[in-house]
Structure 1
């Protein structure tokens, strides 16, 4: 039913800042689930839409930004106006990892902007690299051995994985792997510090 922002970023080969920008222009709706809050006289809990302009500071292009922020404007389902959270008075902390986009919106955006074809372009309509396989290898590596000391080590291991899978014939450059690993690396490192 939903994709995380990280999944959409990977799926579309774009930055989280791109997704936030599209949301700020009304092209995508970023949601999350919250526990009970008060908005004036109303009580709200469950799925809510987050204000894209409130989210923009989380998605800086010039360097890493915070991984969570307090949201103070929300919109419950079926509502047409933003509600201001009055209790708790500082709003609700929301992590980037907890932000979602409905699957039907993702598919509709892909159709409208021809993103599916771009993502699968290559010889015979296939991707030149097995990114899904790399994700599985990455998850298995982290599950079995934890994170290495540096992101560069993890990138090198994934390049080795590609080399093993293709007998050295198709190995993406480190920059391409880094783009896919960096959001995962940052999120996992932020949870260990």
Structure 2
């Protein structure tokens, strides 16, 4: 008896239109409103990779993390997804990795390039289908009253932080208190990278550039300077520098 495969890593647009009884135009509406994330599969293409951070006002900015050859699915920005669905082929110069990184295609000479995206290659990842269907199942009826944003509790609609930077800063304080100030910033970056890997998993760690940017102000205050003791030096180091009481002599 043949074994039936119950799921696939991703599904084609035609499969979803049939599954949900929706037209391509309906899918385009969900994509444009940011309610459905569309993707394309790629095999070993080079990309410039950047972490997407947010400032205090929630505005995004990019921290370059180098180059990477990507294999698997990459996600389209909602504007690009809508353009592809409304036309036949659209050149796209920016994508998102499943981890939320910005991916920009590169040419053979490492110059910024574009990928010609055809509607036929659009897919939706299995996890995104589950998320979308769960959201639709919990939506209120169209006849239900719509609440005003001012009447809702909780935080605004700003994008959530991808990494636990507050926890990372707390970990830096623990490192300095328990182990003393690292000799170099690179050593502190390595310790922070290890902490994120242990906390979030080895496949979900911010790049070194992002870590350096986050700890730069902290490091500038505690870094060891010649002739100036750090304000956060280890207590054990300070005690070792003091002469024992029994060896001190008072001048006559």
- Normalised by the shorter chain, which TM-score bucket? 0.3 to 0.5
TM-score (norm 2): 0.38
Larger Rg: 2
| More RCO (CA 8 Å, sep 6+) | 1
- Larger helix percent: 1
TM-score (norm 1): 0.48
